[in-house]
Structure 1
Amino acid sequence: MAETFLITEISKVSKMHPENYVYSYMLEDATSKNGVFINYFDGLIRRQKDIALACNSNIGKKLSYSDIKKFYPSISLEDAKSTWEEHTAKNNIDRKYIDLGLVLLENQITASTFFHDNQKLLVGPSFSHVIANLILKDIDIKMHDITGGHYYRYVDDIIMIGDEKEIESWRSILKETLLEKKLELHDKTKDFVISTNEWLSGEHDFSDNLSRDWGYLIGDIKKFLLLNPEKTDSLESEFKKNGIRIPVLDYSNSIRNKSYIDKFISNYNFKKWFRRKSNSLSIDSILFSAKKCKASLLRVLDEEDALFNSAESAYEKKRRVPKIRYTSGRLLYLLNKEELDVLLSKTIKYPELYLLNAIAKSLISRDVTQIIQMGLNTTQAAAQLLVADGNDVTFDALKLEDSDPAVVEQSLSILGLYKMNFPNTEFGGSFIKLLSGNENDITEMMSSKNDFIKEFACLHGISHPDHLKVLQSGSDEDEDIVLDLLDQIQPSST
């Protein structure tokens, strides 16, 4: 909450925003309800359009890809603190906000020292993304000017457009400038240079055709639930019978926000085709749409996988991975266990899909050992899919002995919130006791020396808990209920 508050405050200051040729973790308007960052896919699409425009104006020139080595883990938290103070001071940010940022970074120092035995910027926290952009802000401006505006950055991925000599010179300048910040480019074996003509062969890789069937399916589900709320349980039951893991209750709650209802009523009253289409929706028609969407995604996955396997250049391989990740992520919602086995056989070779593959394995085996080891975000992403197939999961206690006990306890608590049944509940600690709702346990924890446990227990009370209901009704009204979370939390494959 403190991070969200702070990022919202600094988003009011235009010079704290990334430059418009930086496409990752762009700050939302302070009044937005969509979160503190503009959706990551919007950034990718805008970058694609800007590079296409530049390539069409520079036919016959070259385009280079470079990558910063271990970007976040290379930023020292002391440098993060000094960078934060420098940029906030020169932009006249109120001192209380500067101090709050420093507290957040001090907390990172404590956590990084404990978990990683170093004092480097953590990958997960939202504030880390703000700091990372501030660290590179001067470099972004310098490189944009030197390249005549042909510099484009997305997190640690940098593209420049020019002739061969220019690119060689610019790369040297970029390398030297990064070293001043104690950052390194990968060696040239990780880089690749292609012609602008070759890049333009993938100009439309981020067109909306890829998500069209998925968008239609989710739109139909939301319209159906709004018009037929009494059929929510029936739709969920049919989804389970057909191996579909789309969270019906999440969508039944997300349609209650005023903006969605106002838009729906306007379309329903003034567009005959919309009214006719909405009234014709049924559980059978939605199941048909799901099957159609699944077939479409499988076809795209097979095509992209085949193109990846036959690709001769690094660029050809690179441009296939986002589509493979996108289709695989949505297929996790639509495939039964046998089909998931086939999916896994195709995607297991992609290191960029490590998290998705781990979730697929857990759906097939119901073994969540690897998921727990990967931490809270992965456990949360997996839980919404696992619960659709049943409540029983298992894990290997011996394999978890080397994991941090706090991470194990909190990951198990997430599974507990989803009413998952698992063995070895002694791993759970206080959080699992909270989930049980046992009056004696709750009363005891109201006097806990752990302030969080104490406050949570007091707020919880001794009434019977229904955590799953709270989870399913507590979604932000503007949140996309999709696995795009995984793309945000996973580090670069390099």
Structure 2
Amino acid sequence: MLANPTKKDTLQQSFQRNNIRIPIVDYSDAVKDSNYLQRFQDWMRKYKWATKSVKSITINSLLAQAKKCEESFSVRLENLLTEDGSSSPYAEKRITPKLRYLSGRLLYLSSREYLGEISEKLTNRPDMYLIAKTMEAVAFRDFTDVLSMGVNATHSAAQLVRAEGNEPVRIDNDIGLSPVVEQSLAVLVINGVQHNYGAINTELMQLVASTGMKDLMKSKNSFIREFACLHGLSEPRHQYFLDSSFDRDEELAMDVLNQLQRSSHC
């Protein structure tokens, strides 16, 4: 994306057609940085292999690599699921990290049908329940369970849905509005994920929707008040910032891999 920032949309559409949910970050602003461009050009001149290496990266080559990884990870995951880890607690502990590694990456590379099948096999494993429910949310677009698991789980699932085209998700309207659920619903708003849950008129939901900001600037909640003052009266640009790089050194955020294991509400 640094070498070909104008191909962002084309790459994203190709990923979506091939069940790849890797988020594509817009580096166009970083590329406009003249200092960075100069260093990039110097690097290309210094290393003769660099130009050939960069040119060899095409959309088709990325799709081929993703497909190869998906096939390899699927086989390895299926083999692990057939292993009997009940013989000793050490055997189970040996299998679990491998299952997390493979299933986390398959969330970005596999079809919704396959994720639905694997989620059923992983749900019965307590240490894989969180990833299994995330797979289920992505496969069936039902976010009822992940909302109760906290903002990390909700954001991880929302990132995958956004990368795939942002199809609306379903939420059971009977789910109680606990603080955890309210925060998770706010995360969906920030990600631009539409849902069928009823409207909620709380300060947090007003904040993420940028409505009634003048009143929120006087809120008794210090977080709400300070955030509203920093945000101002402008329209929300949550998705723009999620899709754009902060600077040229920003790494690609794979939230299923980076954040999912930290969710504490499960």
Aligned twin of 2:253: 481
What is the match of residue 153 of structure 2? 378
Q: Between the two proteins, what is the percent identity of the paired residues?
A: 36
Pairwise CA distance, 1:391: 4.2
The 5-angstrom pairing of residues 116-131 of structure 1 reads: none
Q: Is the 8 A contact 1:332 1:360 kept in 2?
A: yes
Structure 1, unaligned runs of 5 or more: 1-224
Shift of 1:287: 1.0
Q: Which AA in structure 2 matches 1:435?
A: V
Query: Does residue 115 of structure 2 align to residue 340 of structure 1?
Result: yes
8 A contact 1:369–1:400 mirrored in 2: no
1:443 aligns with 2:226: no
Structure 1: distance between partners of 2:32 and 2:104:
26
Partners in 2 of 1:381 and 1:391 — Cα distance?
Answer: 15
Separation (CA, whole Å) in 2 of partners of 1:358 and 1:485? 17
Alpha-carbon contact 1:425-1:432 (below 8 Å) kept:
no
- The answer for the alignment partner of 1:320 in structure 2 is 95
Q: Secondary structure at the match of 1:226?
A: coil
Deviation at 1:381, TM superposition (A): 1.8
8 Å contact kept, 1:294–1:334: yes
Residue equivalent to 1:367:
142
Which deviations, in whole Å up to 9, do the C-alpha atoms of 1:349-379 show, x marking residues without a partner?
A: 3221111111111111212111111112211
TM-score by length of 2: 0.84
CA contact (8 A) 1:417 1:435 kept: yes
Task: State the shift of 1:456 in Å.
Answer: 2.1
Give the AA of the match of 2:17: K
Residues 478, 443 of structure 1: CA spacing in aligned structure 2 closer, same or farther, 3 A cutoff?
A: closer
Instruction: Provide Cα deviations, 1:251-273, integer angstroms capped at 9, x if missing partner.
Output: 77899999x98996676434444
Taking a change above 3 Å as real, the CA distance of residues 262 and 445 of structure 1, as seen in their structure-2 partners, is same
Instruction: Note the 1:316-465 alignment, pairs <5 A.
Output: 316-389=91-164, 390-401=166-177, 404=178, 406-427=179-200, 429-438=202-211, 441-465=212-236
The Cα of 1:385 is off from its aligned counterpart by: 1.0
Letter of the aligned partner of 2:217 in structure 1?
M
TM-score with structure 1 setting the length: 0.47
Q: What amino acid maps onto 1:450 in structure 2?
A: N
Distance change in 2, residues 1:228/1:298 (3 Å)? same
CA 1:292–1:314 in structure 2 vs 1: closer, same or farther (change >3 Å)? same
Aligned partners of 1:378 and 1:324: how far apart in 2? 18
Which structure 2 segments of 5+ residues have no match?
none
Aligned equivalents of 1:396, 1:444: Cα separation in 2: 31
Which residue matches 1:303?
Answer: 79
1:14-64, Cα deviation, whole Å (9 max, x unpaired): xxxxxxxxxxxxxxxxxxxxxxxxxxxxxxxxxxxxxxxxxxxxxxxxxxx
Quote how far apart the aligned CAs of 1:468 are: 1.1
Instruction: Please say if residues 148 and 181 of structure 2, whose CA atoms lie closer than 8 Å, have aligned partners that are also in contact.
Output: yes
Structure-to-structure mapping, 1:85-484, within 5 angstroms? 225-249=1-25, 268-306=44-82, 308-309=83-84, 312-389=87-164, 390-401=166-177, 404=178, 406-427=179-200, 429-438=202-211, 441-473=212-244, 477=249, 479=251, 481-482=253-254, 483-484=256-257
Task: Specify whether residues 394 and 488 from structure 1 end up closer, same or farther in structure 2 by C-alpha distance, changes over 3 A only.
Answer: closer
Q: How many pairs align? A: 261
- Structure 1 pair 319–251 and aligned structure 2 pair: CA distance change class (3 A): farther
Q: CA separation of 1:293/1:395 partners in 2, compared to 1, >3 Å: closer, same or farther?
A: same
Residues 324/475 of structure 1: CA separation in 2 closer, same or farther (3 Å cut): farther
Task: State the SS of the aligned residue for 1:332.
Answer: helix
- AA matched with 2:63: L
Shift of 1:233: 1.0
Contact 1:393–1:421 (CA under 8 A) maintained in structure 2:
yes
Assess, with a 3 A threshold, how the Cα gap between structure 1 residues 407 and 314 changes in structure 2: closer, same or farther.
Answer: closer
